[in-house]
Amino acid sequence: MIDSLQNSFKIPELRRRIIFTLLILIVYRIGGHVPCPGINASALGEYFREIQASNTLFGLYDMFAGGAFSKATVFALGIMPYISASIIIQLLGAVVPFFQRLQKEGEEGRKKITQYTRYGTVGISVLQSFGVSVFLQSMPAMGGELVVPNPGFGFQMLTVITLTCGTIFIMWLGEQISERGIGNGISLIIFIGIIARYPSGVLVELSQLINGNRTILTELFLLALMFITVAGVVVLTQGTRKIPVQYAKRVIGRKVYGGQSTHIPMRVNTAGVMPIIFAQAIMFVPSTLTTFFGENEVMQYLASKFSFQSPIYWSIEFILIVFFTYFYTAIAFNPVDVADNMKKYGGFIPGVRPGKKTSEFIDNILTKITLPGSIALAFIAIFPYFIVKFTNVDFNFASFYGGTSLLIIVGVALDTLQQIESHLLMRHYDGFLKTGKVRGRR
């Protein structure tokens, strides 16, 4: 591993890409601490601590923004508007013929989709930043201090411009990493925002150990449990079912095309982290509404039933994740398109007729492998809540035992590692595992 890291810096192009990526991420982290004008940061921090925002939609949003939302910095919206726009465009691609045609137009279609995603990001950022400005003005005084000392239309316009420009700048940073750095820029920005929360969780655990609330044996058990959980997430992320495909030989002029054998890699977790995000967004709605209607008895009752301590919360979220895994997999992977493309280029699955029979065969396998994948994904999502309940670990630290945080960290780390490894292998250096490629990258 150490030799491979040294080799990474021996290749001039790879060294430049890694250094460029690190510099961009440093810029992002610095921007996450620049306060938005017209806001009392101390009063805002007190408000978020008072309502325990980590259990609400604000906490979910703040996680993707790397803590910038709870501090109301210029990067408070983070990259979430871009993610929302990407999801909307992807959903439209499944139902709107115009976007379906763009998806099939190759590179030109991809460029147009990217441009529409940028426009959508700006529109969503304007709407969300206006909502944030109204939300900030409506906050009660904390400790005798207003969160917004000078509310009004001027503050709203300033907040909209600042936060929208901040999101556009983050989007540009992500695109620069993808083009001139290493790894997927947008994913790395989310990755670094989540990792930034890890030191505070570790410090809390160390203070618990120093104060005698934890024993060394308990901490070792927690570390071993984290290692096993990460290994399980890696297996889930990389797990694939390979469907063999044979291409018939075609003679065009004097050249012979096809005739080779390959496979279709079908991931056990095709939907990735999206089912957890959708499910958590729905599950956080009652607790979020409670922050606005705290005196309402009905909302208080719902909040108690949908709290982290309630088994109802875990059960419903488990079911929602299984449902959204099937839902998002159906959007992300279309067996009919795969079967049509195979038929167009003379490909077939041995023992299965091309066309409709092939699409039914692929759909049947996809349904079967999605079930264990969805159950495993749901278990990983609710695992941090069991850690908090039975070990009394801080939630920021427990979130690294599963859920959205761990899945994003593992997925982005594997993707970035794969790109670095490909650069090393192209120049005849050993990869990160000398005994062979990382499983799933053959």
Last residue of one domain, picked from the residues 133, 166, 196: 196
230 occurs within a structural domain: yes
235 is in which domain, residue-wise?
207-401
Last residue of one domain, picked from the residues 168, 196, 224: 196
The pTM (predicted TM-score) of the whole model is 0.78
Last residue of one domain, picked from the residues 175, 196, 217: 196
399 phi and psi, to 5 degrees? -65, -20
| Domain shared by 13 and 160, yes or no | yes
SS (H, E, C) 144-211: CECCCCCCCHHHHHHHHHHHHHHHHHHHHHHHHHHHHCCCCHHHHHHHHHHHCCHHHHHHHHHHHHHC
238 occurs within a structural domain: yes
| Domain shared by 361 and 235, yes or no | yes
What would the pLDDT profile of 155-176 be if each residue is shown by its tens digit?
889 989 999 999 999 999 999 9
| The one-letter amino acid at 200 | S
414 occurs within a structural domain: no
CA distance 133 to 163: 10
407 occurs within a structural domain: no
| Domain shared by 188 and 212, yes or no | no
| Domain shared by 97 and 173, yes or no | yes
What SS3 class is residue 433?
coil
DSSP annotation of 352: S
| Domain shared by 173 and 225, yes or no | no
426 occurs within a structural domain: no
Domain count, the chain: 2
Task: Count Cβ atoms below 10 Å from residue 259 Cβ, excluding itself.
Answer: 11
CA distance 432 to 176: 26
| Domain shared by 89 and 170, yes or no | yes
| Domain shared by 251 and 319, yes or no | yes
331 occurs within a structural domain: yes
* Residue 333 φ/ψ region, left for φ over 0, alpha for ψ in the -120 to 50 degree band, beta for the rest: beta
CATH number of the domain within which 21 lies: 1.10.3370.10
437 occurs within a structural domain: no
| Domain shared by 185 and 264, yes or no | no
345 occurs within a structural domain: yes
Positions of E strands within 234-303:
240-247, 250-252, 255-257, 261-267
pLDDT tens per residue across all 442 residues of the chain: 566 667 777 788 888 898 999 999 999 988 888 888 888 777 777 776 665 555 555 666 666 666 677 777 888 888 888 888 888 888 787 788 888 888 778 788 888 988 999 999 999 899 888 888 887 887 776 666 777 888 888 888 998 999 999 999 999 999 999 888 888 888 888 888 888 877 777 787 788 788 877 788 888 888 888 888 888 888 888 888 888 888 777 666 666 665 677 888 888 888 887 788 778 777 766 666 665 565 567 666 766 666 666 778 788 888 988 998 988 888 888 888 888 888 887 788 888 888 888 889 999 999 999 999 899 988 888 888 778 777 777 666 777 777 777 888 888 888 888 888 887 777 665 555 554 455 444 4
| Domain shared by 224 and 350, yes or no | yes
CA distance 439 to 93: 32
